Amino acid sequence: MLTRLCGVLPEARILTGLSLPQLARVIAGARYFLGNSSGPLHLAALAGTPHVGLYPQNRVDAPARWRTLPSEGSPAEFREYLLAPQFPKNCVKCERERCPYFNCVASLTAEEVRGALRSWGNLPKRVGGNASIRASGG
């Protein structure tokens, strides 16, 4: 899914195989960070890097529970940049393949991600371009 979304975001790169210190340096120097609800997303928040988090709909993993800490310059509402799909289902915990909406996070669109990036206020109104996807060894 990140590969699909990065294809429509400028200067996007997917990096793998980094040590924790390397990852922290890359995130701290990044223009923005896009990722799922994970440790690297929280590193981005701690570094003050504009970030967009992708969360599933269920309450166990929801942004209201696992949101990143606000930093200087972060949007007023965490729901502006921490995205979760909204289906007509009360998800307590993910039912995986038994759910008619599985994989719900994949329903998030590039336009929703662009809007979330713009909520940080430091990106141009029109976000687009070709992505550069690279794998990097540790």
pLDDT in tens, 40-54: 999 999 999 999 999
pLDDT at 7 (0 to 100): 59
pLDDT at 111 (0 to 100): 87
SS3 state of residue 23: helix
Ranges in the chain, pLDDT < 50: 124-138
pLDDT at 126 (0 to 100): 39
Residue 65 burial (CB < 10 Å; 0-12/13-18/19+)? exposed
Would the pTM of this model clear 0.85, i.e. be above it?
no
Q: What percent of the chain has pLDDT over 90?
A: 33
Given a contact cutoff of 8 angstroms between Cβ atoms, the answer to whether 54 and 36 are in contact is yes
- Domain range summary for the chain, segments of one domain joined by +: 2-118
